[in-house]
Amino acid sequence: MSTGRSFVPFVSPAAAASAEKAAGARYVALDAYRGFIMVMLASGAFGFGALQNHPTYGRIAAWFDHVEWTGAVFWDLIQPAFMFMVGVAMPFALARRAARGATARQDLGHVASRALKLILLSQFLIIVADQKVRFQLINVLSQIAFTYFFTYLIIQMRFRWQALTAALLLVFHSALFFIFPGPEGAFARTGNIGAVIDKALLGYNYEGYYVTINFISSTVTTLFGAWAGSLLMGARPRAEKLRILAIAMVAALLSGLALSLVIPNVKRLWTASWTLYSTGWVLLMMLVFVLLVDVWGWRQPVFPLVVVGMNSIFIYSLGFLLRGPVNHWLQPFTGGFQFIGALAPVAQSCAVLAVIWYLCYWLYRHKIFIKV
C-alpha cells in the first residue's frame, strides 16, 4: 500500500482524512509520558548527585546517574525515551498536516527546517551553558535532529522496507566498530571508530566518551517510536494495540539482552544491543502510562505532567538555562533546606523544578505552546 506520502504501519489511508478529529481527542497518556520524560531532563537528577556516597541514599542516587559503561539504570533510559517519543509524535503530526492539505514536498521542507532549528538550538544552549563556542553534535537535540529527519525519510517506504532499513542501520553501525576496532577493542571507551571520526572531523572528543555516529543506530529508536505512534493512531481495537506493544516490548528486551552477548550494551555508543534493550524499557514505560491514563482514567493525577508535555522544548531549554539562576535566587528563601538534613539537595532541586514547572503552567493557562 502506498499513498504517495508518509506511510507507517498500522495506519490506513483514511487516517489522514480523520486526523483533525484525532487531534481533538489527544492521547493524554502520550502527553503525560512526554511530560514525565521532560521533568526528568529538567530535574537535574533531583539533586541526588550530591548523595552518591551517602550510606542510606547512595543506592537510590545511583539510579539517577549514568552507568560507567555497560548496562543501564533508570537514568540511562531518559534519552532513549525522549528520542522514542519524537517518533511517536510524527504520525500524528504528519497526518494533521495531510488533512490540512500539505504536500510531500512541503512535509520534507518542514521536517528539514525543524531538524536544522534543533541543531541551532542545541548549539545555542551548549554555548550559553559552557560559556564557550565549540561546535558539537552529541547533545540530545542535535541527535534528535538527525534521527527525526532520517526517520521521516524511512517512513516513506512500505513497512517491510522500513524494517529492513532499521536492521541494516544497526548492522552498519555495528560493522563500523568491528571493522575498525581501536587498540583497546571495538567497543572500548577510547580509540573506537566513533572517537576516531570525531577527532578527525571536530578536532576533539566529547566528555563521557559519547560519539556523533550514535545517530545511525538511535535513528532506529526514533523509528520504533514512529511505528508505535502509527499503531496507536490506527483503527485497531485498544486491547489489540496494547497486546502488540506488549509483545514488541518483550521481543525488544529479549533480543537486546541476547545481542549483548556479542555486542556490549553501551548507551554512550548507542550499540545495537542498547537500541533494542532500551526500546523494550521505553515501551514498558509507555504502556504503563497508556494503562493508567487512557484505560484506567487517571487523568487528574497526571495533569502536572501533561502541562510539561505540551511544552517539551520549552522546559528542556529552560532547565538547561535557568536551573542555576533559579537555584541561586531561591537560596535566600529556602536556605538550601539544610534544616532537613541529608535530603536537603533533593528538596532544593525539587523547589527549583517547581518554579520551572510553574512557568510551563503559565504558558499552558494562556494556551502558549512553543514549537521548533
CA–CA distance, 125 with 139 (Å, rounded to integer): 9
The string of DSSP letters for 78-112 reads HHHHHHHHHHHHHHHHHHHHHHTT--HHHHHHHHH
Mean pLDDT over residues 316-335, rounded? 88
CA–CA distance, 267 with 33 (Å, rounded to integer): 21
CA–CA distance, 13 with 95 (Å, rounded to integer): 10
Q: Of how many residues is the chain composed?
A: 372
Mean pLDDT over residues 45-58, rounded? 90
Residue 240's pLDDT is 95
Reported confidence tier of residue 26, pLDDT bands at 50, 70, 90: low
Residue 350's pLDDT is 94
CA–CA distance, 83 with 144 (Å, rounded to integer): 6
Instruction: Judge contact between 189 and 177, C-beta under 8 A.
Output: no
From first CA to last CA, the distance across the chain in angstroms is 32
Quote the cell numbers at residue 125. Answer: 544552549
pLDDT at 319 over 90: no
Residue 293's pLDDT is 93
Reported confidence tier of residue 318, pLDDT bands at 50, 70, 90: confident
Nearest C-alpha neighbor of 268 from the set 43, 42, 68, 64: 68
State whether residue 182 is helix, strand or coil. strand
pLDDT at 201 over 70: yes
Whether pTM exceeds 0.85: yes
pLDDT at 2 over 80: no
Mean pLDDT over residues 330-343, rounded? 91
Residue 317's pLDDT is 87
Q: For the segment 54-101, what is each residue's pLDDT rounded down to a tens digit?
A: 999 999 999 999 999 999 999 999 999 999 999 999 999 999 999 899
Weakest mean pLDDT among 24-38, 106-120, 195-209, 235-249? 24-38
pLDDT at 342 over 50: yes
Instruction: Judge contact between 38 and 315, C-beta under 8 A.
Output: yes
Residue 320's pLDDT is 82
Beta bridge partners of 70: 266
Mean pLDDT over residues 263-276, rounded? 97
* Backbone phi, psi, residue 70, to 5°: -90, 160
* Side-chain half-sphere CA neighbours of 333 within 13 A: 9
User: What's the chain's average pLDDT?
Assistant: 90
Query: Residue 265 CB: number of other CB atoms within 10 A?
Result: 25
Which residues are within 8 A (CB) of 256 and not within 5 positions of it... i.e. 6 or more apart?
265, 273, 274, 275, 276, 277, 278, 279, 280
Higher model confidence: residue 9 or residue 230? 230
Residue 372's pLDDT is 80
